[in-house]
């Protein structure tokens, strides 16, 4: 009897470890994933131990070189976390564009705001679900999503939504989970053949998968179409944001909130973060 109880407890502990640590709550919904990241936000950079030199060499420089021909590019960083990529673009490279940094973890965004306080004119932080991007079609010159695709409700639908807001000729940089842990994330982490099949169905060209880390490959591609010479980095925020409730309505900005003229829903701005997920 005690032996059976011990086996049950071990199995429950393994299930809990898989759910919270390996899968990071991804099977319990996006809100639960965001809550887990909220818990570790202040310690996140210390846990990950990002190297600024490595971030520049393997992320910042390749992206910067790819979008350099575009003057004043507008970049969307989905699931930005503590803004690892915006930080390296703005602080270590000759990047002349603007960045929209989006995440559903509010405490991670607060950490990002603190790190990039001196660049507040160049980066906008938005608290919103990545599965419903609050932007019109063909807005961004580049879109990035690092180490997050497998934690979204549907990687394929997430990619489709990202491509919706990417301009023709725009650059997509995302990642794919590999290694032994990936095999424990069915329906989330994609096998190389699954990934390639999905990418081939999308309006993409110049698809390239690059080895990067033990647990991640980089995925580079361009949306089909001609790359514009002038980016959207000079667009006003009112031209970029849409009401998540009405989907196609411009938001009117005041000092402390954004308001939708159609549905009258108000979205607060707190400590530099636009809380689109908290409209009322």
Mean pLDDT in order along the chain per 10 residues (280 residues): 81 82 87 92 90 91 94 97 95 91 97 93 95 95 96 94 97 94 88 93 95 93 93 91 85 84 90 88
Provide the pLDDT for residue 38.
94
Q: Phi/psi at 257 (nearest 5 deg)?
A: -160, 165
Provide the pLDDT for residue 81.
96
Provide the pLDDT for residue 25.
85
Provide the pLDDT for residue 184.
87
Taking each helix axis from N to C end, the angle separating 155-164 and 192-201, rounded to the nearest 10 degrees, works out to 30
Provide the pLDDT for residue 177.
93
Sorted by where each starts, the structural domains of the chain and their CATH numbers stand as 46-223 (3.40.50.150), 241-268 (no CATH)
Q: Are 102 and 79 in contact (CB under 8 A)?
A: yes
Q: Nearest-CA neighbor of 213 among 114, 147, 154?
A: 147
Provide the pLDDT for residue 65.
94
């Amino acid at each position: 009897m005690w032996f059976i109880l011990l086996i049950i407890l071990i199995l429950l502990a393994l299930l809990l470890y898989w759910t919270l640590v390996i899968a990071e709550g991804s099977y319990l919904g996006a809100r639960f994933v965001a809550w887990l990241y909220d818990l570790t936000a202040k310690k996140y950079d210390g846990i990950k131990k990002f190297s600024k030199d490595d971030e520049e060499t393997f992320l910042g420089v390749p992206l910067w070189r790819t979008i350099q021909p575009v003057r004043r590019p507008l970049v969307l960083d989905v699931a930005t976390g503590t803004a690892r990529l915006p930080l390296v673009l703005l602080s270590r490279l000759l990047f002349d564009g603007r960045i929209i940094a989006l995440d559903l973890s509010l405490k991670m965004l607060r950490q990002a705001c603190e790190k990039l306080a001196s660049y507040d004119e160049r980066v906008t932080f938005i608290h919103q679900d990545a599965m419903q991007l609050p932007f019109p079609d063909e807005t961004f010159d580049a879109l990035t999503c690092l180490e997050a695709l497998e934690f979204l409700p549907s990687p394929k639908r997430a990619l489709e939504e990202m491509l919706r807001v990417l301009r023709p000729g725009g650059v997509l940089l995302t990642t794919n989970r590999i290694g032994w842990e990936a095999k424990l994330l069915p329906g989330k982490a994609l096998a190389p053949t699954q990934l390639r099949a999905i990418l081939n169905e999308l309006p993409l060209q110049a698809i390239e998968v690059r080895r990067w880390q033990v647990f991640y490959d980089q995925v580079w591609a361009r949306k089909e179409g001609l790359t514009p010479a002038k980016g959207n980095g000079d667009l006003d925020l009112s031209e970029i944001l849409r009401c998540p409730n009405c989907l196609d309505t411009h938001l009117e900005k005041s000092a402390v909130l954004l308001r939708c003229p159609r549905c009258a829903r108000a979205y607060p701005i707190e400590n530099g973060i636009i809380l689109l997920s908290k409209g009322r």
